[in-house]
């Protein structure tokens, strides 16, 4: 059952909202693993350092550069996994 603050993508998958901000890394890791992709695959596609992708998946934002970069990294990571950001 979906929570009130969740959205559903056209494919019927739940997409992250602001309430999931602290868990976005876990969400992205789950999506990546479900698609059979490695962090190396995502790093090659997005040109984001593997160490930054690992930090995102670990929800360790202290290991990342400033906010605007983090937002861009998360957006690129999500797009590489086909996540609907609307």
Residue-range domain boundaries for the chain? 23-80
* Fold for the domain defined by 23-80: 434 Repressor (Amino-terminal Domain) (1.10.260)
Task: Say what the pLDDT of residue 29 is.
Answer: 96
Residue that has been written with the tokens 């695959």 in this structure: 41
- 42: its two tokens: 């995502």
Name the percent of the chain lying above pLDDT 70.
74
Whether the model clears a pTM of 0.75, i.e. scores above it, the answer is no
Confidence of residue 30 (pLDDT cuts 50, 70, 90): very high
- The answer to whether the CB of 11 falls within 8 A of the CB of 60 is no
């Amino acid at each position: 059952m979906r929570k009130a603050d969740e959205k559903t993508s056209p494919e019927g998958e739940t997409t992250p909202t602001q309430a999931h901000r602290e868990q976005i890394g876990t969400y992205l890791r789950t999506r990546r693993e479900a698609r059979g992709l490695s962090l190396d695959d995502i790093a090659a596609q997005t040109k984001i350092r593997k160490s930054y992708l690992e930090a995102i998946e670990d929800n360790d934002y202290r290991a990342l550069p400033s906010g605007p970069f983090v937002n861009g990294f998360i957006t690129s990571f999500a797009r590489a996994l086909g996540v609907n950001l609307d």
